[in-house]
Structure 1
């Protein structure tokens, strides 16, 4: 957290750059352990509480341990400045001749467990209001991201002030997702997921003080944020008690290889990190790793992450036997979930940004070689099956190896997990959308979800944007995306399991909105069935 004390209504860092905060009426909330006040407004009509501490600093002896309640803070705390982001890791970059630049644009801090709450500016916090709540979980491959990454305050304004939004930070990279026998013995596994769960419990305990209804919480995220939503859907075998949310929405649910915590893959990562920071490879104690300077530990974690295959993330959730009792697909196939309903969006070209097309061309790589590198435990027969499926795609155009590789990556890690999740829900409570505005790459839809608040709005059509957003807000408010207004462009969302149909959001060649239901490709479902059949091999 930035230590400089500042008056209300001053400049803050938002979205990674300076932004002036407008002044609104001062709002004050007493949380019992601390009192926060703010008059900050990042977007018109919304008051934002920024940088509320929801857990004690996970530093020193608390590194690699479960989040703990924050200490009592006396006096009124200003909630007008974005918190420092958690230590940022990296994505694999091993197939290119250069290294990704390490992030330095935003202040990073191991003490980073803060939550933002955004409320309508005209909401009287003493009025016993009880608005639905959207809890946003940022993406970034469990390696990057922060509360400043996504403008969750626009979820309030875009909903016409009918919801409250919150966003949480959680430990990333080795701080949040280091695994192995030693971590299980002397620390906690999946610390980053436990941070999220702790934040969701904070919402249950405190959101009513902000005018929110703890019984009407929807969790929502994109990429690893959506993957986090998936993890909470299956947490405790799909039976978290008491419940922390009632609805789950996901954009591009990220389901990477989720090995057992003591799998040799995780033990090698633990041993390498220990050696690189000068710690003995202990099987009983994390004392040495806890004593290492946070910046040094983070830097060595980045080195390990960068050595992974291009587009692959190293520090990710594991099966821990407690929060995540088994591989997510195992729980999903039992139709056991912690949510009443789900709405899931994927993009038409999810995998493009995670494949180094230039390197594949330069090295004259075959699709079989790419599949073998991406899935180290698949046998030759399965690799050849994958090649047969993806070298002859009938529902999409992918004539080259890099294009085929992109669909391998996109289907297996993002698109198919959406269908696995949909199949776990009752027939009348699951909906599927596809965002295809060119280029339709991973994250393209965020510009439309957050409207003008993020770059990338290539199709600036207000009716299209409103139609795209309305299904999410309707689900959060009414557990159904179809309580939209008469001016909405789209037909009713069809439930996926009952109809096999998807809601398409696209643009016509003449520049008009194309919002319609389409049958889900049988070829895509066949590919997803193939990946699901290998879920034990690929640890999903």
Structure 2
């Protein structure tokens, strides 16, 4: 139903600025808005599923209910229930200022398109579907303005930004959830299900993929003892331990209490880890992701991946005194001393003890999984590294979605080079076929021993753009081989 709705929405013929555009999706009519300053049309808060409340909690998305009248789609929708705000010393999330109300009724998407579409109907434009990050516990569509991408693409794309259930509301797992609900409910939006099903629509809906800081946490079997322990903790904290049916009790529990349980469960995790994440359910995720990538089971014709130089720093307690060996045992509970000793050997020569720990977190969870994806798309993928100091996780996003804020390196040449690599790939599946001319040199496809593109600044005063090909570090790739070899223990 969502796919049909989007096709209807993007098929509206527009010939210049229109006031209050409307669309009929069958279950509801929505009225959007045209930004007079940018001539970009937006529909905010398009419902794609029924509110997952009451008996629909912990179930697959249900079709939207029929709603009479015209619904205003001009304000940001409720964000999904969030967890963690950086208060606890074991909490990996940074404090954030919520701009919209959190609610379980949050299964909405936002659509943006150029009102004039440069003479091309919106239905014929390439479409970016943006799935926000946040460790499966935080994030919202309101944090990303699709107008930014449209401007950077020379008004050549449509942008769809979706929301999905987070924390225990979206990723509560265990045998009982599989029996009486659905696993990975947060990953169960119609668009994400299409991805899992190989993009099997006519015509094919997805043709390429972009990853910004690929995130691959431990994803265990749905009935793994670790997952069952987490389920029992949720049941206990929600006062449902004595109930005849724990899941029925959880469905009847107030949102307020479940929100507290959600925060408790996630903040109790080891610093820098995310507790409520997808599991292997045999349907949506049929095997460990690293196995799927090794077997080349991927969707799409091309891949663009960007990582930040120091992905792990923000997810490590910078006051820790753990050694590389000790940290690996804490990060991956199924490790034995054998694996910990290998980690110590691989990382023992990488600078200070803290730097080693930062590197373990960043490479095992973010950087190495990116190279696994590059190998799965070998011959049709591009790899970039965002290194503008301090090069921390997520800092590249400000160049895709500046939202009016001043980027960390406010240099027009650099901004165009980096951001338009992104939009050129959306349109052409190749960052070398540029929307407009930039300083980015020829960007070769990723091959082991070949090059990736570095996006950095010089040490001069004032700094200048430093955008050039670099050779992937061989020692890094060797460490990635180790992490790939122990995926059965890391849950990756």
**Matched pairs, number:** 472
Distance 1:162 1:485 in 2: 9
| TM-aligned CA deviation for residue 461 of structure 1 | 1.0
1:348 to 2:300 alignment: no
In structure 2, the residue matched to 1:480 is: 430
Deviations 1:155-206 (A, max 9, x none): 11111110010101100000100000000000000001112xx1457xx9xx
1:168 alignment counterpart? 162
For 1:433 and 1:101, how far apart are their aligned partners in 2? 28
Which of the residues 469, 475, 485 maps onto 1:533? 485
Q: Which moved more, 1:403-412 or 1:88-97?
A: 88-97
Q: Identify the residue that residue 110 of structure 1 maps to in structure 2.
A: 104
Kindly indicate whether the alpha-carbon contact (under 8 Å) linking 2:118 and 2:156 is maintained by their aligned counterparts in 1. Answer: no
Corresponding position of 2:200 = 241
1:507 aligns with 2:457: yes
CA distance in 2 between partners of 1:496 and 1:289 (Å) = 47
Query: Is the Cα contact below 8 Å between 2:153 and 2:435 reproduced in 1?
Result: no
Change in CA separation of 1:42 and 1:188 when aligned onto 2, cut-off 3 Å? farther
8 Å CA contact retained: 2:154, 2:435: no
> How many angstroms does 1:499 deviate by?
5.4
Superposition deviation, residue 106 in structure 1: 3.4
Q: Which string of whole-angstrom CA distances, capped at 9 and with x for unpartnered residues, describes residues 86-142 of structure 1?
A: 100227886559998797663111000001000113349995751110001111110
Tell me by how many angstroms 1:285 deviates: 5.5
- How far apart are 1:470 and its partner, in Å? 1.8
Cα distance in 2, alignment partners of residues 389 and 529 from structure 1: 11
Q: CA RMSD in A?
A: 2.5
Q: Is the 8 A contact 2:92 2:267 kept in 1?
A: no
Q: Is the 8 A contact 2:85 2:93 kept in 1?
A: no
Do the aligned partners of 1:93 and 1:311 also contact (CA within 8 Å) in 2? no
Report what 1:471 is aligned to: 421
Corresponding residue number in structure 1 for 2:9: none
Among 361, 366, 370, which residue is 1:414 paired with? 366
Deviations 1:211-269 (A, max 9, x none): xxxxxxxxxxxxxxxxxxxxx4xx35xx4533541110000010000000110111001
Matched position secondary structure for 2:32: strand
Aligned to 1:372: 329
* TM-aligned CA deviation for residue 75 of structure 1: 1.4
SS of equivalent residue, structure 2 residue 83: coil
Counterpart position of 1:492: 442
For 2:421 and 2:412, how far apart are their aligned partners in 1? Answer: 15
Q: Distance in 2 between matches of 1:44 and 1:245?
A: 28
Map 1:133-532 to 2 at 5 A: 133-195=127-189, 198-199=190-191, 232=195, 235=196, 239-242=198-201, 243-280=204-241, 286-358=247-319, 360=320, 364-393=321-350, 399-427=351-379, 429-451=380-402, 453-454=404-405, 457-484=407-434, 487-497=437-447, 500-510=450-460, 511-532=463-484
CA distance in 1 between partners of 2:184 and 2:389 (Å): 36
Instruction: Give the Cα separation in 2 of the matches to 1:354 and 1:114.
Output: 29
2 CA distance for matches of 1:513 and 1:173?
39
User: What secondary structure is seen at the aligned counterpart in 1 of 2:382?
Assistant: strand
1:131 is matched with: 125
Q: Please give the alpha-carbon distance, in whole angstroms, between the structure 2 residues aligned to 1:163 and 1:392.
A: 46
Q: Distance in 1 between matches of 2:168 and 2:435?
A: 46
Contact 2:309 2:385 in 1 (8 A): yes
Q: Give the 3-state SS of the residue equivalent to 1:537 in structure 2.
A: helix
- Secondary structure at the aligned position of 1:496 is classed as coil
Q: Distance in 1 between matches of 2:188 and 2:94?
A: 29
Q: Is the 8 A contact 1:40 1:47 kept in 2?
A: yes
CA distance in 2, matches of 1:485, 1:477: 8
Listed as ranges, the gaps of 5+ residues in structure 1 are 1-22, 205-231, 394-398
Structure 2 stretches of 5 or more lacking a match? 1-16
Measure, in 1, the Cα distance between the counterparts of 2:299 and 2:473. Answer: 28
